[in-house]
Amino acid sequence: MTRLEAVLGDITTEQVDAVVNAANSALLGGGGVDGAIHAAAGPALLRECQRLRETTHRTGLPVGDAVATGAGDLPARWVIHTVGPNRHRGQTDPALLASCFTSSLRVAREVGARSVAFPAVSAGIYGWDSAEVARIAVAAIRGDTDATGGIDLVRFVLFGRRVLADFEQALAPASGSGPD
């Protein structure tokens, strides 16, 4: 069984096997959690991302997909980069966002990670409502036992109390089972 939990915090300090990055298709850093992860991980992470762009990911990483690198100076062993849908560009399909979470877990399993920390992918610069992100993330992960096989812990690490509350609500046992 995979345990799902939500905590308030800075994902760059998480002591888990793998930290998920809310990246962009270029994979070369950015603002938000992407900027924080690159700043904390140091130049080794950017070098690995550049190497991906020169080899397996010449055209970048598609929305909803995921790829692993080492984690540079972070306490984690791997960073798993995923690209959320950008609502400002009309990317409103929940399946794309769900895919970020399940693809990241598949990649985590492939590299041998057993504990994974996620940020609220797409809930910042990409403009999705954090309550919707929380519902989609929890449903996608709970609904995909194949992706979670071998993963002991999924921890959502949220950067504000409101986003934390949204994830706590999505994780609550009664969530989605009755009328509003």
Active site residues: 34
The residue among 94, 75, 73, 76 whose CA lies nearest residue 84 is: 94
Write out the binding residues for ligand AR6, residues 101-140 only, by CB under 6 A.
119-126
Interaction between residue 5 and ligand AR6 (CB under 6 A): no
Sign of the four-CA dihedral 39, 148, 83, 85: negative
One character per residue 135-174, x = contact with ligand AR6 (rule: CB under 6 A): ----------------------x-x---x-----------
Please report how close the Cβ of residue 65 comes to ligand AR6 at its closest, in angstroms.
Answer: 14
Yes or no: say if 40 and 74 are a contact pair by the CB < 8 Å rule. yes
Helix axes 32-41, 43-54, angle to 10 degrees: 110
Residue 131: CB minimum distance to ligand AR6, A: 12
Residue carrying structure tokens 């046992």: 173
Binding mask 81-100 for ligand AR6 (x = CB under 6 A): ---x----------------
The single residue among 22, 74, 97, 98 that binds ligand AR6, judged by CB under 6 A, is 22
| DSSP states along 65-130 | -EEEEE-TTSSSSEEEEEE---GGGT---HHHHHHHHHHHHHHHHHHT-SEEEE--TTSSTT---H
Task: Please tell me whether residue 31 binds ligand AR6 under the rule CB under 6 A.
Answer: yes
Q: Round to whole Å and give the CA distance between 59 and 1.
A: 36
Does position 68 bind ligand AR6 by CB under 6 A? Answer: no
> To the nearest whole angstrom, how small is the minimum distance from the Cβ of residue 179 to ligand AR6?
29
Name the burial class of residue 141, with classes exposed (0-12), middle (13-18) and buried (19+) by CB atoms within 10 angstroms of its CB: buried
- Residue 83 Cβ vs ligand AR6, minimum distance, rounded to whole Å: 8
* Complex with ligand AR6: residue 64 or 148, whichever CB lies closer: 64
With CB under 6 A, what is the number of residues at the site for ligand AR6? 24
Cβ count within 10 A of residue 92 = 13
Residues in touch with ligand AR6 (CB under 6 A):
10-12, 22-24, 30-34, 36, 84, 119-126, 157, 159, 163
